[in-house]
Chain A
Amino acid sequence: MRYRTPLSVARGLGSSGNGLGHWWMQRLTAIALVPLVLWFVVSMVSLSGQNHEQVMLWLRSLPHSVVLSIFLVVSLYHANLGLQAIFEDYIQARWLQLSARIIAAFAAVLAGFAGVFSLLGLAFGG
């Protein structure tokens, strides 16, 4: 038995209000995150126990700050997509679900800019 209306089928959109885009971007960022997470874990293990000077030396180095920036942006984007799916699944009240999605998206953008600008400041000799 089908519960979807013909209009809903024709639109091809789920409860999120958009179609394939969300699914595809979640996969695309997931694929990107496989090598990025591997790099991040190895980096954090190598940085463990290092003092401020050594950590700053590492953060100042261009390949590190570039890859760390990419890791930050891609993982925050992926996190936002994941949180959106979770909110859509578990929060039924529309206003509450939208509020949660807005807060998550704003937090991701804020964290991304804060992290990347900190690293850019270092890279450009701040």
Chain B
Amino acid sequence: MPMNERPLSPHLQIYKLELPMVLSGLHRITGIALSVGSLLLVVWIMSAVHSAAAFAGMSRFLGGFIGQLLLFGWSFSLIYHSVNGVRHLIWDTGRLLEIKQIHTSGKVVLALSIVLTLLAWVLGGGFPGGGV
């Protein structure tokens, strides 16, 4: 039973909930969402290439309540994961690694992601063929 001899990380509930840990988790969750979203993008491309009827069906789905909810979550995921990804790339160069900077950059990333997502939806007024 070698597994039982190994040290365990402190459990999640031991720590006080802090913004950087929430954002770190959100990076992974949005990453999973985007993996599923990329499949949706492929289906969307295939529907357009297949026929006008298939594209219309896809547009109806994406324009509906569930479709719009998925698209909103997906667009936020894409923007958040990208902006926070740049934060990660900056960390990789050894910069902005002080605790205070991590809190500040976290707030900047979150605010920027929300603003950019809303901006994209205002400018787009919906999704391709979403009928919004």
Interface residues of A, count at CB 8 A: 41
Question: How far does the alpha carbon of A30 sit from the alpha carbon of B120 in the complex, in Å?
Answer: 21
Question: How far does the alpha carbon of A42 sit from the alpha carbon of B43 in the complex, in Å?
Answer: 20
> Contact between A48 and B127 (Cβ–Cβ < 8 Å)?
yes
> Contact between B38 and A30 (Cβ–Cβ < 8 Å)?
no
> Contact between A86 and B31 (Cβ–Cβ < 8 Å)?
yes
Closest to B59 in A: A52
**Given A56-B48, A86-B32, A115-B45, 18 more pairs with CB closer than 8 A:** A34-B82, A34-B85, A34-B86, A44-B120, A45-B124, A48-B130, A49-B124, A49-B125, A49-B131, A56-B49, A59-B49, A68-B45, A76-B38, A79-B35, A104-B35, A111-B42, A118-B42, A126-B49
Q: Which residues of A contact B125 (CB under 8 A)?
A: 48-49
Tell me, rounded to whole Å, the shortest Cβ–Cβ distance linking A84 to chain B. Answer: 11
Of A27, A47, A118, which is within 8 A of B89 by CB? Answer: A27
Asked whether any CB of chain A lies closer than 8 Å to the CB of B94, the reply is no
Interface residues of B (CB under 8 A from A): 6-7, 28, 31-32, 34-35, 38-39, 41-42, 45-46, 48-49, 52, 55-56, 75, 78-79, 82, 85-86, 88-89, 92, 120, 123-132
> Contact between B39 and A111 (Cβ–Cβ < 8 Å)?
yes
Asked whether any CB of chain B lies closer than 8 Å to the CB of A37, the reply is yes
Closest to B51 in A: A52
Question: How far does the alpha carbon of A115 sit from the alpha carbon of B49 in the complex, in Å?
Answer: 10
Q: Which residues of B contact A118 (CB under 8 A)?
A: 42, 45-46, 49
Asked whether any CB of chain B lies closer than 8 Å to the CB of A70, the reply is no
> Contact between A111 and B38 (Cβ–Cβ < 8 Å)?
yes
Q: Which residues of B contact A66 (CB under 8 A)?
A: none
Asked whether any CB of chain B lies closer than 8 Å to the CB of A102, the reply is no
> Contact between B28 and A86 (Cβ–Cβ < 8 Å)?
yes
Q: Which residues of B contact A75 (CB under 8 A)?
A: 34, 38
Tell me, rounded to whole Å, the shortest Cβ–Cβ distance linking B45 to chain A. Answer: 5
Tell me, rounded to whole Å, the shortest Cβ–Cβ distance linking A74 to chain B. Answer: 11
> Contact between B89 and A82 (Cβ–Cβ < 8 Å)?
no
